[in-house]
Amino acid sequence: MKHIFKKGTDPNKPTLLLLHGTGGTEHDLLPLAELVEPESSVLSVRGNILENGMPRFFRRLAEGVFDEEDLIFRTRELKDFLDESAKKYEFDRNNIVAIGYSNGANIAASILFHYEDGLRGAILHHPMVPRRGIDLPNLKRLPVFIAAGKNDPICPLQESQELKGLLENAGAAVHMHWENYGHQLTRTEVEAAANWFQQNFAK
């Protein structure tokens, strides 16, 4: 997968996996990694799907209607890419925290839905429920930060609450951050995510 890897100054800090929104690239979220933990290594990935020229991490049939078969395939592809990258760049595979926005948050959530040790933690900006009707793996107190908008036309408030409930039922420790706005990524939610990260992952 097309990506950027930046080696951090502290190998004990989690590697930050950056996953952009629809139409984004691997460059978009680099400033977030700086705010969350400047000493961490960063693996920023571009989605392999193109929708009318816009990169994405998996196909959709319509706005908010996911191509489930492709979602499962692409989730596996990303997980395999993390396994390979950890070997290639020599970082700890068991110490990856994802930071995803929108479509990127959805594929990060999909890794949590499908793989027991896929991630060590996740910051999800405006995620949706990636799949319904499946049993989640045991998430064993895995820390998850969700930022959601109370007036998000793409992800209604109830869907954000549903995602929180599904992850908590699987054992995750979910912190919910609400914004009064819509689907946009705000400065305040990024700062809240950075505080949460320091509380959960500072050594």
Contacts with ligand MLT, residue ranges (CB under 6 A):
21-22, 60, 63-64, 102-103, 106, 128, 154
- 67 given a catalytic annotation: no
For 36, 124, 192, the CA distances from 189, given in Å and listed in that order, are 11, 10, 5
Give the DSSP letter of residue 180. S
Quote the CA–CA distance of 38 and 169 in Å, as a whole number: 32
- 183 given a catalytic annotation: yes
- Closer CB to ligand MLT, 42 or 128, in the complex: 128
- Closer CB to ligand MLT, 85 or 106, in the complex: 106
Encode 176-187: b = buried (16+ Cβ within 10 Å), e = exposed: ebebeeebebbe
- 152 given a catalytic annotation: yes
Write down the least CB distance from residue 132 to ligand MLT, Å.
15
Quote the CA–CA distance of 3 and 18 in Å, as a whole number: 10
For 14, 34, 44, the CA distances from 148, given in Å and listed in that order, are 24, 21, 22
Query: Which residue in the shown chain puts its C-beta closest to ligand MLT?
Result: 103
- Closer CB to ligand MLT, 51 or 92, in the complex: 51
Catalytic site residue from 40, 44, 102, 160? 102
Catalytic site residue from 67, 70, 117, 183? 183
So which residues are the catalytic ones? 102, 152, 183
